[in-house]
């Protein structure tokens, strides 16, 4: 700044009358009058945060297309995923979806790898079909070992400790956003370690947690075998509230 102001002051001091200097500064060669100003200093643009939205299923192990209470888990995950994508973009985030159609098959480890491509965090959308009601959140609380004997990557260990320490605060933020946004509709059932899930109890962590290099949380949005939960998450209004509540949780963890 100093370098620009000093020559300007020198020009004003040396020239007479002052009006001439002002006119010289204000006039473009074509004679058009403009406001004299110092060259604008470019403001560095902060990159928008990239959020990885993973509508869970279909994959080789589970397509999740079995009909339950008039819908299926795969469809609900996809529909809420699209709403979440739209809402996050409206709020100023960039969004990476892990699949591009309701029946687009992508393996869980590949979903994690897609998300690792520059995303700040990943949310994996699922629904439960066990007895119960409400929503629950799962995060990697310890490293696991990928356990699929026929896969060349069988035995892969992960995630790294930074992912484990970053994922719990994300799960807590999502729980807070969802508890407020879904009040009166779906009850919070808690924040739990991956090892409380069926796959996690076998491997130590869920598959995409093992392959994740960024904070990652699995959201069991509702219990589809529960009639009230299913009615809520099937409805457009319920899906919109769910997506809005998840977006609010993401915002608590990371601003756009
Ligand atoms: Zn699922």
DSSP state of 42: P
Considering only residues 51 and 25, tell me which one the structure prediction assigns the higher pLDDT: 51
Average pLDDT of the chain to the nearest whole number: 88
The CATH code of the domain at 50-253 is 3.40.630.40
pTM: 0.82
17 confidence band (pLDDT: 50, 70, 90): very low
| Backbone dihedral region for residue 143 (phi beyond 0: left; psi -120 to 50: alpha; all else: beta) | beta
92 alpha carbon – ligand 1 mean position (Å): 28
In the predicted model, is pLDDT for residue 195 greater than 70? yes
Q: List, for residues 77-112, the tens digit of each pLDDT value.
A: 999 999 999 999 999 999 999 999 999 999 999 999
| SS3 state of residue 20 | helix
Whether 254 has a pLDDT exceeding 80, the answer reads: yes
pLDDT of residue 43: 67
How close is the Cα of 25 to the center of ligand 1, in Å?
67
**56 C-alpha to center of ligand 1: Å?**
6
Give the pLDDT band (50/70/90) at residue 24: very low
**Backbone conformation region of residue 170, classed left if phi is above 0, alpha if psi is from -120 to 50, else beta:** alpha
Distance 141 CA to ligand 1 centre (A): 19
Task: Tell how far the Cα of 73 is from the centroid of ligand 1, in angstroms.
Answer: 7
What does the pLDDT average to over 48-66? 94
Under the banding of pLDDT at 50, 70 and 90, the label for residue 47 is confident
Note the pLDDT of residue 136. 98
Measured in Å, residue 241 CA sits from the centre of ligand 1 at 20
Give the number of C-alpha atoms closer than 13 A to the C-alpha of residue 156, restricted to the C-beta side.
Answer: 19
- Write the DSSP string, 165-231: HHHHHHHHHHHHHHHHHTTTTS-EEEEEEGGGSHHHHHHSS-HHHHT-SS-EEEEEEEETTSHHHHH
pLDDT of the residue at 153 = 97
Distance from Cα 32 to the centre of ligand 1, integer Å: 66
What pLDDT digit, counting tens, does each position of 122-157 carry?
Answer: 999 999 999 999 999 999 999 999 999 999 999 999
Q: Is residue 121 over pLDDT 60? A: yes
Q: How far is the CA of 42 from the centre of ligand 1 (A)?
A: 47
Q: Which of 24, 26, 21, 2 is nearest to 11 (CA)?
A: 21
User: How many Å apart are CA 224 and CA 73, to the nearest integer?
Assistant: 7
Q: Quick one: pLDDT band at residue 44, thresholds 50, 70, 90? A: low
CA 58 / ligand 1 centre spacing (Å): 9
**Sequence spans of domains, the chain:** 1-43, 50-253
Kindly give the distance from the C-alpha atom of residue 125 to the centroid of ligand 1, in angstroms, as a whole number: 7
If you measure from the C-alpha of residue 116 to the centroid of ligand 1, how many angstroms do you get, rounded to a whole number?
21
Please tell me the predicted confidence (pLDDT) of residue 60. 84
How close is the Cα of 78 to the center of ligand 1, in Å?
Answer: 11
Helices (H), the chain: 2-14, 18-26, 73-90, 108-116, 161-181, 198-203, 207-210, 227-234, 236-253
Instruction: For residue 43, give the DSSP letter.
Output: P
Query: Distance from the CA of 76 to the center of ligand 1, in angstroms?
Result: 10
Predicted local distance difference test score (pLDDT) of residue 226: 98
Cα 119 from Cα 98, distance rounded (Å)? 11
């Amino acid at each position: 700044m100093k370098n620009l102001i000093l020559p300007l002051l020198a020009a004003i001091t040396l020239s007479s009358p002052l009006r001439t200097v002002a006119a010289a500064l204000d006039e473009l060669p074509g004679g058009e009058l403009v406001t004299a100003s110092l060259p604008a200093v470019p403001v560095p643009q902060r990159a928008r945060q990239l959020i990885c939205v993973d509508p869970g299923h279909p994959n080789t192990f589970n397509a999740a297309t079995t009909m339950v209470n008039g819908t299926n888990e795969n469809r609900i995950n996809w529909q809420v995923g699209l709403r979440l994508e739209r809402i996050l973009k409206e709020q100023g985030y960039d969004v990476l979806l892990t699949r591009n159609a309701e029946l687009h098959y992508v393996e869980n480890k590949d979903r994690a790898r897609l998300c690792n491509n520059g995303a700040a965090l990943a949310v994996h959308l699922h629904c439960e079909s066990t007895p119960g009601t409400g929503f629950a959140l799962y995060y990697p609380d310890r490293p696991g070992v990928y356990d699929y004997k026929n896969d060349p990557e069988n035995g892969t260990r992960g995630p790294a400790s930074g992912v484990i320490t970053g994922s719990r605060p994300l799960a807590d933020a999502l729980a807070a956003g969802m508890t407020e946004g879904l009040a009166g509709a779906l009850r919070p059932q808690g924040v739990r370690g991956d090892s409380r899930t069926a796959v996690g109890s076998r491997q130590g962590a869920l598959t995409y947690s093992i392959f994740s290099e960024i904070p990652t949380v699995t959201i069991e949005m509702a219990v589809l075998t529960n009639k009230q939960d299913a009615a809520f998450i099937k409805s457009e209004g319920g899906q919109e509230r769910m997506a809005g509540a998840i977006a609010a949780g993401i915002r608590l963890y990371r601003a756009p």
